[in-house]
């Protein structure tokens, strides 16, 4: 079958653009590649009307992974601020766990401009303002996409040997996949976190690195502040911050019942900003580089990646594949790794003349080997943390996690945290017996 393109990438966000660049690199720009995005050119890849809602943090190691393999590098202004690692604090703020490792805070409004410029230099075709609604099929395989041009309101339909789905966590393409495959189409509601954030300027208040540190991304674990998730204070400069939180809706309902409140995510975020003593006179950023990206809410998956990432003529990458890390919902790192890999695998399958599930299967293997192996363990750890009270988290971080190899945790080698609840309950009973 003659197709319009060799590869169609559905979605021009971070993962989709890197996937296209990777395919262009590994094919020596010999394959025809089309990226389709629903946004107009100036805001390509925007997640919602409120912008590119994200924590903006990424490890240097994953950016280096991309650069070393497909020779794509980022600099100023898309890299806004360097950091030395992450510092996680217990609910009582008495215990901190450092996760050292150089990283970057990205400017997500500026990054698409760099990605678009790089992609055009690599011969990648772009189609803006098209809302895709479904895949097209032939003989049990995906052979293209169809949707609507949002400018002309005319039908849009294109074919390709491979469609790479980078349309996001609620992908209509994945949800509507109608050929036989091993791909999971729907995500469980409990595997989604409701998140939101503000990008803010401020003056310095109390000098307290528990609340703000220009060198470290700060995480606050607290079931009252961010039930089932965590709050974050990520520096974007000496006087600029990405501040927000993520919650599990089921845990938020429990928290509201327990405290007699009816708070939603936006209220929680605004309250979180108010209690931060290091941030004085906070206001939404007025930087031109944040003009359409200063505040907003979104949903993020917090489970292992989809158990299968390929079907006949079809591949998943980034949020469409539920790739954000289950423990912290960080999606940029795994998206970079997967998108770098997927382009190579897609090119190899086309060159081998086999774009069936079997021909694309190597992508499953390569992603698991380079990144995905850790996510199931992190999902179990996340599920366990969500069941603990603040007192149990305080106890566990003080008596267990502070003595653990945190590098192992980041690899998915989680501790036996079930002993925390038992040990905490034993200590509590002992204390109660002494005072009774």
In whole angstroms, give the CA distance from residue 371 to residue 411: 9
- pLDDT category, 172, cuts 50, 70, 90? very high
Residue 243 confidence (pLDDT):
99
In whole angstroms, give the CA distance from residue 103 to residue 362: 29
The torsion defined by the Cα of 282, 288, 289 and 291, in degrees rounded to 10, comes to: 70
- pLDDT category, 399, cuts 50, 70, 90? confident
Q: How many CA atoms lie within 13 A of 54 on its CB side?
A: 28
In whole angstroms, give the CA distance from residue 54 to residue 168: 13
Residue 239 per-residue DSSP state = S
Cβ–Cβ < 8 Å for 122, 24: yes
Stated pTM of the model: 0.94
Chain-wide mean pLDDT for the chain?
A: 93
User: Across-strand partners of 48?
Assistant: 51
In whole angstroms, give the CA distance from residue 348 to residue 310: 14
- pLDDT category, 403, cuts 50, 70, 90? very low
- The SS3 assignment for 86 reads strand
pLDDT digits (tens, 9 = 90+) for 285-302: 999 999 999 999 999 999
User: Across-strand partners of 51?
Assistant: 48
Residue 14 confidence (pLDDT):
98
In whole angstroms, give the CA distance from residue 17 to residue 317: 11
Average pLDDT over residues 400-421: 55
pLDDT digits (tens, 9 = 90+) for 264-280: 999 999 999 999 999 99
In whole angstroms, give the CA distance from residue 34 to residue 14: 15
Residue 99 confidence (pLDDT):
84
Domains of the chain in sequence order: 5-82+108-188+302-373 (3.50.50.60), 86-103+192-300 (3.30.9.10), 388-435 (no CATH)
Dihedral sign from CA coordinates of 302, 304, 307, 310:
positive
């Amino acid at each position: 079958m003659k197709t319009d393109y060799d590869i169609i990438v559905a979605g021009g966000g971070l993962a989709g653009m890197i996937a296209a660049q990777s395919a262009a690199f590994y094919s020596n720009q010999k394959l025809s590649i089309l990226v389709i995005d629903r946004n107009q050119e100036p805001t390509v890849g925007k997640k919602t009307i409120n912008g590119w809602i994200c924590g903006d943090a990424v490890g240097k190691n994953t950016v280096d992974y991309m650069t070393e393999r497909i020779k794509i590098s980022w600099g100023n202004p898309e890299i806004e601020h360097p950091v030395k690692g992450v510092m996680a604090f217990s609910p009582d703020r008495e215990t901190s766990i450092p996760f050292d490792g150089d990283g970057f805070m990205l400017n997500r409004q500026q990054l698409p401009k760099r990605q678009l410029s790089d992609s055009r230099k690599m011969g990648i075709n772009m189609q803006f303002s098209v809302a895709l609604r479904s895949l097209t099929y032939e003989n049990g395989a995906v052979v293209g996409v169809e949707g609507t041009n949002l400018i002309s309101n005319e039908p849009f339909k294109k074919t390709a040997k491979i469609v790479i789905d980078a349309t996001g966590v609620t992908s209509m393409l994945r949800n509507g996949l109608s050929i036989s495959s091993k791909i999971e189409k729907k995500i469980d509601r409990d595997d989604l976190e409701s998140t939101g954030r503000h990008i803010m300027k401020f003056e310095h208040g109390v000098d307290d690195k528990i609340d703000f540190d220009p060198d470290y991304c700060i995480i606050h674990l607290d079931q009252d502040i961010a039930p089932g998730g965590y709050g974050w204070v990520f520096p974007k400069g000496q006087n600029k911050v990405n501040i927000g939180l993520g919650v599990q809706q089921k845990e938020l309902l429990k928290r509201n019942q327990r405290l007699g409140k009816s708070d939603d995510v936006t209220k929680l975020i605004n309250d979180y900003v108010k209690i931060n003593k290091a941030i004085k006179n906070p206001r939404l950023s007025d930087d031109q580089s944040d003009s359409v990206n200063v505040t907003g809410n979104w949903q993020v998956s917090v489970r292992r990646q989809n158990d299968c990432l390929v079907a006949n003529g079809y591949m998943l990458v980034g949020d469409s594949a539920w790739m954000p890390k289950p423990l912290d919902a960080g999606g940029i790192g795994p998206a970079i790794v997967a998108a770098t890999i997927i382009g190579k695998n897609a090119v190899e399958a086309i060159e081998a003349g086999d774009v069936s599930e079997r021909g694309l299967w190597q992508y499953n293997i390569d992603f698991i080997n380079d990144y995905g192996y850790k996510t199931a363990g992190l999902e179990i750890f996340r599920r366990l943390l969500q069941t603990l009270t603040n007192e149990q988290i305080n106890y566990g971080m003080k008596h267990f996690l502070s003595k653990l190899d945190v590098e192992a945790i980041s690899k998915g080698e989680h501790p036996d945290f079930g002993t925390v609840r038992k040990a905490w309950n034993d200590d509590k009973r002992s204390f109660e017996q002494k005072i009774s």
